[in-house]
Amino acid sequence: MKDNFSKQASGYSKFRPQYPDELIRYIVSFVENKSKALDVATGNGQVAYKLSAFFEKVYGIDISQNQLDNAYVADNIIYKVASAENTFFKDREFDLITVAQAVHWFDFDSFYKEVYRILKPSGIFAVIGYGLFSTNADSDKILNHFYYNIVGSYWDAERKYLDENYLTIPFPFEENPVKKFQSQFSWSFEQLIGYLETWSSVQHYISKNGQNPIDLIRNELKISWEENDKKVVFPLLLRVGKLK
C-alpha cells in the first residue's frame, strides 16, 4: 500500500470532506451483531469515530503514524499502525470492516485474503469513497481543467478506480444492492484550496516541479468562487457485501 498522505496529515484531517451520518447508519443497518468494527486505512479516523457510536469496540489501522496522530478520539476506538494486507487480528474477529477512499491503493489479492480471514462469517464488508466534486458551472470549468490537464498526469494510476466509481475494482463478495448518496457542503475559498492541497497529484506536482500547481489557477478560481454560490457536491461511492 502506498503512503501518499503522511506529509499533509493535518491538512487531510482538516479539509477532507466528512461522510454523512446517513451513509454510516445505512452501512451499519446491514450488520447483525455490533461487537467489533474495523476501519482499514483509517487516516484521520472520521469513519472509525462515526462507527464508535454503534459498536462496542472499533479498531482503526493505517500505515501512517502521522495520520493517526491527527485522528478523532473516542473511548472505544483503538488505533494501530498496520498495513491493510497484513494485520495482527485474530481469525473471524469483526462484524464490520470498512475502507473509505483507500481500497484502490491496496494489493487487492492480499487484502481480500486478509478480509476473508478476519471477517466473521456473518460479517459485512463495505467500500466507501467519493468521486470528483462538482460546483457551479463556471468554477467547474476551471477545476476540470486543473484536474485533467494541469495535475492529470500526476495522479497515481490507481486513481482510475475512483474515476470509475469503484465499479471496476475486484469485489469477491456476495454483493448487496445499495442506495445512492451524495454529500453537499458550502465552502469558503480557503476550504476549497485546503481540500485541493490534499490531492496526491498536487503533492506529486510540488515534489517534481518545486511549485504549487494551484497557483496557476488561484486568482481565476477565487474570482469565480466569490461570484457564485460556493456549493460543492461529492458523489459518494458505496459497495457492500458479505463472504461468499
Closest by CA to 94, choosing from 62, 61, 57, 63, is: 57
Dihedral of the alpha carbons of 139, 140, 142, 143, in degrees to the nearest 10: 110
pTM reported for the whole predicted model: 0.89
- Considering the domain boundaries, does residue 183 fall inside one? yes
Whole-angstrom distance, CA of residue 46 vs CA of residue 73? 9
- Coil, helix or strand at residue 140: helix
Mean pLDDT value across the chain: 94
- Considering the domain boundaries, does residue 20 fall inside one? yes
- Scan for cell 488561484, then name that residue: 218
- Considering the domain boundaries, does residue 151 fall inside one? yes
- Considering the domain boundaries, does residue 1 fall inside one? no
Give per-residue pLDDT as tens, 135-182: 999 999 999 999 999 999 999 999 999 999 999 999 999 999 999 999
- Considering the domain boundaries, does residue 203 fall inside one? yes
- Considering the domain boundaries, does residue 2 fall inside one? no
Which CATH number covers residue 191? Answer: 3.40.50.150
| Domains in the chain, number | 1
Whole-angstrom distance, CA of residue 8 vs CA of residue 110? 27
- Considering the domain boundaries, does residue 227 fall inside one? yes
Give per-residue pLDDT as tens, 171-223: 999 999 999 999 999 999 999 999 999 999 999 999 999 999 999 999 999 99
- Considering the domain boundaries, does residue 108 fall inside one? yes
Q: Residue 35: which residues within 8 A CB-CB, separation 6 or more?
A: 55, 56, 57, 95
Q: How confident is the model at residue 16 (pLDDT cuts 50, 70, 90)?
A: confident
Structural domain including 32 reads: 9-242
Whole-angstrom distance, CA of residue 115 vs CA of residue 134? 33
Q: How confident is the model at residue 6 (pLDDT cuts 50, 70, 90)?
A: very low
The full DSSP string for 92-138 is T-EEEEEEES-GGGS-HHHHHHHHHHHEEEEEEEEEEEE---B--HH
